[in-house]
Structure 1
Amino acid sequence: MSATDTQPKSSASKLLLRAGTTLFWSLVAGIVLARAAFFEPGIFDGFSRVASLAKNLIF
């Protein structure tokens, strides 16, 4: 099998591949930007308190 065997042959499949790739990366960028915009920095404060309490109990 050569590399040309995996490439789309017709212009319609090339267009569909490009559209799918563009849609995929647009969704990835949207999810990353939404996570950055709505992430609350203090969300893990409770976990750190529990982790430090567990550490003090164990050691």
Structure 2
Amino acid sequence: MRPIQFDPFGEPVAHGTDHGAPSSVSRIALRTGVGLFWAMVVVIVAARAAYFNPNFAEKFGSVASLIGHLKTIVGA
């Protein structure tokens, strides 16, 4: 006798729903998606390395100091 299995919401799962192994179309779709994901990762990392600007962080520092000056002027 098989033990009763439950879904995440606590409902018993029917025994007749055996999905079996994934189909070849499902495997192809999965591999295509994974390949596309990692290709995008490589492209994004390569673009960030090629167009890296070391002065990028300084822009945020100047914006933060501007906001600090505006707060002192407004009196907040």
- TM bin, normalised by shorter chain, reads 0.5 to 0.7
Whether 1:14 aligns to 2:33 is no
Residue number in structure 1 paired with 2:38: 25
Using structure 1 for the length normalisation, give the TM-score.
0.60
Higher helix share: 1
In structure 1, stretches of 5+ residues that fail to align are: 55-59
Separation in 1 of the partners of 2:63 and 2:24? 57
- For structure 2, which runs of at least 5 residues remain unmatched after alignment? 1-6, 8-18, 69-76
Identity %: 44
**RMSD between aligned alpha carbons?**
3.0
Number of matched residues? 55
Q: Say if 2:48 is the partner of 1:35.
A: yes
Superimposed CA distance per residue, residues 4-35 of structure 1 (whole angstroms, 9 cap, x where no aligned partner): x7x86101110110011000110011111101
